[in-house]
Amino acid sequence: MRGSLARSFLSYLDEEGGRISFLHAFPDAAAMDQHFEGADERAAAAYEFIEPRGWEFYGKPSEQAMEGMRATAAKFDVPLVVEPEFNGGFLRLAPA
């Protein structure tokens, strides 16, 4: 079931509290595409308060998502890093 797959939305501040980093994790490209629906308006509001430093993608986003991110990275003249091939690893969940 698509709605039951986990998604993560985390943020981290640097020690001075002047830089924030966001981590969004999706189970697949379709879930990320769903998140991007309506994102232009949300992003425009956020860019009034923050200046992007770049984006990193781990996995294979859809071509539609990549086209949008390439354009946004170019607009802000920031790096866009894509590491498409999953190599291995695990996620350890804490006991309930």
- pLDDT value of position 6: 77
| 20-41 pLDDT per residue, tens | 999 999 999 999 999 999 888 9
Paired tokens of 87 = 């190599």
18 belongs to a structural domain? yes
**Number of helices and strands (H, E) in the chain?**
3, 4
Quote the number of domains for the chain. Answer: 1
pLDDT at 1: 40
Q: Cα–chain-centroid distance for residue 11? A: 11
pLDDT in tens, 41-62: 999 999 999 999 999 999 999 9
- Enclosing domain of residue 29: 2-83
Domain-located, residue 12: yes
- For the whole model, what pTM was predicted? 0.79
92 strand-pairing partners: none
Q: Does 1 or 34 have the greater pLDDT score?
A: 34
